Amino acid sequence: MNIVKGQNGWIEVICGSMFSGKTEELIRRMRRVEIAKHPYQIFKPTIDNRYHHQYIVSHNKSKLNSTQVDNSRQLYEQVKKETEVVGIDEAQFFDGGLVEVCHKLADEGKRVIVAGLDQDYRGKPFHPIPELLATAEYITKTLAICMQCGNPANRTQRLIDRDEEIIVGEKDIYEARCRKCFSPPKEKK
């Protein structure tokens, strides 16, 4: 893909429900970059306090070094000139400015790989992923397996009755569910 090296940037989005292998896929792509000895950096938002501050870690515990940033502006400021590939995990936790930052980096000739949840626990689009999906060059949707019935799952069921959009958690409070088994929370008046 990287034919005109250092000149042609683009955006790749990896999205799907929890437990669908988004971080694993990001790590897989970044390892190929590492093997090719291209300079890369990986970022994740400070809000994601699972596992370890210095790494991105998939549910199956594979990991790569990463830098934590508080917002999209800080991310942009930390990207080095020589970096050719920028990886971003848990993109749903970033502010809306992430979309512009990804495009600026791509315009500067960098390959930008963004992973994140496309839907929240209500099954609604999780910003800013929808805006990235609309404008990225490449999109990969990863599917999990429904933890109720075993069908392909693209939604995430929250198992506790709380309505903040952001609650960091794991298998204790979330399950991958298919369209049939997913039941959205009742709208509170």
Q: Which residues are catalytic?
A: 90
Q: How many other CB atoms are found less than 10 A from the CB of residue 159? A: 11
Binding pattern for the stretch 139-178 against Mg ion, x by CB under 5 A and - elsewhere: ----------------------------------------
In angstroms, the CA 166 to CA 88 distance is 18
Q: Out of 11, 12, 21, 23, name the contact with Mg ion by CB under 5 A.
A: 23
* Spatial distance between the Cα atoms of 93 and 80, rounded to a whole number of angstroms: 22
Write out the residues near ligand TMP by the rule CB under 6 A: 18, 22-23, 117, 120-121, 156, 165-169, 174
Binding mask 87-126 for Zn ion (x = CB under 5 A): ----------------------------------------
Q: Which among 90, 50, 86, 42 has a CA at the least distance from the CA of 66?
A: 42
Tokens of 13: 């989005």
Which region, judged by CB under 5 A, interacts with Mg ion, from 18-26, 122-130, 131-139, 176-184?
18-26
Question: Cβ distance 113 to 149 under 8 Å?
Answer: no
Using CB under 5 A as the criterion, what x/- string covers residues 139-168 for binding Zn ion? -------x-xx-x-----------------
Determine the straight-line distance between the first and last CA of the chain, rounded to whole angstroms. 50
